[in-house]
A and B are shown apart, each in its own frame.
Chain A
Amino acid sequence: MRKFLINTTKFLLFTSVFYIALLCVWEQAFPSWLKPNINYKVGANGHLYTRLSEIKKYSNIDILFLGSSHAYRGFDTRIFSKNGLKSFNLGSSSQTPIQTKILIDRYLDQLNPKLVIYEVYPDIFSLDGVESSLDLIANGKNDFHTIKMALEINSIRTYNTLIYGFIRELLGLNKSYIEPTHKDNDTYIPGGFVEKKLGFYSPQKLDKKEIKINPKQLKYFNEIIDKIKSKNIEVILVYAPIPKINYKRYTNTKYFDEIMRKYSTYYNFNEIVSLNDSLHFFDSHHLNLNGVEIFNNKLIELLKDSGVLKRVKKQQQSKN
């Protein structure tokens, strides 16, 4: 039995080293269809690499935006800046509460915002969080929080990508990487916003869909709200506008609205602003620049009317 245990331990050590080495070779040598369980893409959609590099320069901001691509393509920090508000957009592709929690654990104290605007899109609450975890692993630093995230998601794709990410960081392979500001029709705007100039969408019929909330995501969402509130930071939840053809496909939006209202002040902008699917969106999810302007101005108006901006500015002045 002793020999068995010793040899098994030796074999496990051997396999660990072999696995990591082969993982690195496989990632480098083969096309994506031959490596389904590893997806390490620095500089993927959404400019997360640039965003997380730029965040180091920010502190004591007025507004922090969180959420999915609806956030980084929906909140234009330049519009808020024109209104005297220093903001940072920390949205990322398919960001689920599991990733949001990591991001606020890492950056909330440094950014020290007076207000958090958290974009909530129903589909995000039904995801397992794997895709977004891969984006975060490849484009941000990997630490104890990322390991915690991988254990929570418990997917082989996340584990493989994280192991590979650690090796790349160890070898300093990402240090020389500079993400282009312009990619296809996307332009990264300092502060985290991604501008898309392409401006027309031809709506196509979408199948009906029921909003299903993953309890694990809701648990993390709860923790996020609790953490932000515990630091006496105001939180506003926003369901950003999506094309009507997409919005109307959901059969139980009221159920989602009710859940969100329980947590904090909540605005469903699909019921507040009236936008045109073709003129204000560039696909079935995202606003184009015209749409962003209408949405952001309406949001600022609401923040003014509800007295939130007054409170933010008051805190701003007291800090100065």
Chain B
Amino acid sequence: MITRRRALTLASSAALSACAPRDSNRVTWWAMGTTGENAPILLPPFTRTTGIDVDLQAVPWTGAHEKLLTGFAGGSLPDVMMLNTGWLPELNLLGALTAPPPALLTGHLPGANAAVTIAGRAYAVPWTADSWVQFYRRDLIAEVDYPAPPLDWAEWTRMAQAIVRRHPDRFATLHLLDWPEPLFAYAAQTGEPFLRDRAGRGNFRSPGFRAALAFYKQVFDLKLSPRVTGAEAGDTYIGLRRGWFAILPSDAVFLGDARRPEHRIVPGSWGAAATPGPRGAGAAMARGTCLAVSRTARDPAAAWRLVAFLTGADLQRQIFGITGDLPTRSRAWTMLPPDPVTRLFATQIADSVAPPAVPEWERITSEVQQVAEAMVRGRLGVDAAAAEMDARVDRILAKRRWLLDRGRIT
């Protein structure tokens, strides 16, 4: 009778050890957001010419960072990863990445390579360049007699108040409370560094950041933006189309999304302007993505072939056509339509501030935004919020300071 039990155990252990099939000639790839959702269109020519199958997994941006860390912790990272360039320091610290062949790093925009370089070595290949601008409905801005949204805070506020006065049931802009981007875009305009003491402490009580924080708070205090999170706001494009708000701060993803039939945003009905600053527009936060190959890749050569294919100029131009993601290769920029919007992005990308290269940056932005949300909901004043941000960030960076003091990291 034991034999039957043993048979059962054997059968179940056979079933248990079955895991994902691992065949050669297959490269696994995680790609994020809209780019990841649309990437299948790009792949057939690659598979045809190389014979390499790509197993693509589209990951939503909202869960991408934790998925990458969990993948590293569980030893299950894919061969190729699309990364937010700001996450490179973290994955590099973990030793999760391999250095790309130098040939893939030529011909990119100045600055794109700098963004993927840590301590003199590149750890990924730049893939898309991006920035943060305000997209606006031409008609709603014209209604209050402005040709475009002004670029300094005071004048911008006057325009926004005029919009809200005209339509008391509507808003001038949409700053989602769970998005750190709007606040950090304003803060980047002030030119103040976000961290101090060798990036071992927060610098959020600096006059520059506090000014940005005060402006951000005012946007909500004057009811220029609704107090909503992404989950509640629903489809932001529908909101823009219906005129629920006049200005949508966003990155280049808007360019691809606005073209989609389901959003029905009339071409020519919108324009783009730089993020306003305290005294006119200043530098923007650098944004963009890169492609990296993980140290655990089974066939690094095949993985780099995929990266080489995806980062080519022609393909970057094709991606811009599908998703609005802007290229990093100078040659691809020459193929873009010379319209004011791409010109705006080009100027912004050329003049951007890189986020601090510390592994904790993702967490820092998320905690700072939590405090900013509490401030906007009226629980804290500007100074108390800035102090709370520094306190939290100092706590997050405690381990980094300890390692810095011992010379373990530089």
Q: Does B bind A?
A: no
